Amino acid sequence: MTRAHRFPVRVYFEDTDAGGVAYHANYLRWAERARTESLRSMHLPHALLMERYNAMLVVRRIEVAYVRPARLDEPLIVETRVRAMGAATLDLDQLVLREADGAELARLAVGLVCVRGASGGGTEDLRPARIPEPWRSALAELVSGGAAA
């Protein structure tokens, strides 16, 4: 994907350890917020996916490479790119960058799966399901080369 969604965050005191360095789990929180906001920026919020289709995109795997530490009060940018899409799956690359100089702080490879029955409570709960329209078309446009896998 040539286009990346950019989401700003700042490292707050609550995000750091005693040395003022961002705790590793916060990168996952920032990445989750960035994924949510990337859908919202396309006018396809996750809440609408849940409401209309009783479906949601959930993390099936995530890999994080920590490159440099984020520190107290630093403004950061989380970039989200769609790498590949299958019938029910979505693979993303996310970068956490220091806003001031663009230094790469962390790289995330995220695998999502669309599941249905999230609120029903029946035997079909959380089973993989095809990503519904219009999410499918909007996300397919963002895949490298413009075609879904």
Whether the Cβ atoms of residue 88 and residue 132 lie closer than 8 Å to each other: no
Which domains are seen in the chain, by residue range? 5-146 (3.10.129.10)
Could you tell me whether strands 89-98 and 55-66 are parallel, antiparallel, or unpaired per DSSP bridges?
unpaired
The reported pLDDT for the residue numbered 122 is 55
What's residue 23's pLDDT? 97
Most confidently modeled range among 1-15, 62-76, 123-137: 62-76
Check 17, 91, 93, 125 and give the catalytic one.
17
Give the global pTM: 0.89
Catalytic residue list contains 17: yes
User: Which tokens in the block code for residue 43?
Assistant: 């006018």
**Partner residues linked to 64 by β-bridges:** 108
Look up residue 121 and give its two tokens: 């409570």
Residue 146 has pLDDT above 60, yes or no: no
Q: Which of 14-18, 44-48, 125-129 has the lowest mean pLDDT?
A: 125-129
pLDDT at 87: 97
Asked if residue 1 has pLDDT above 50, the reply is: no
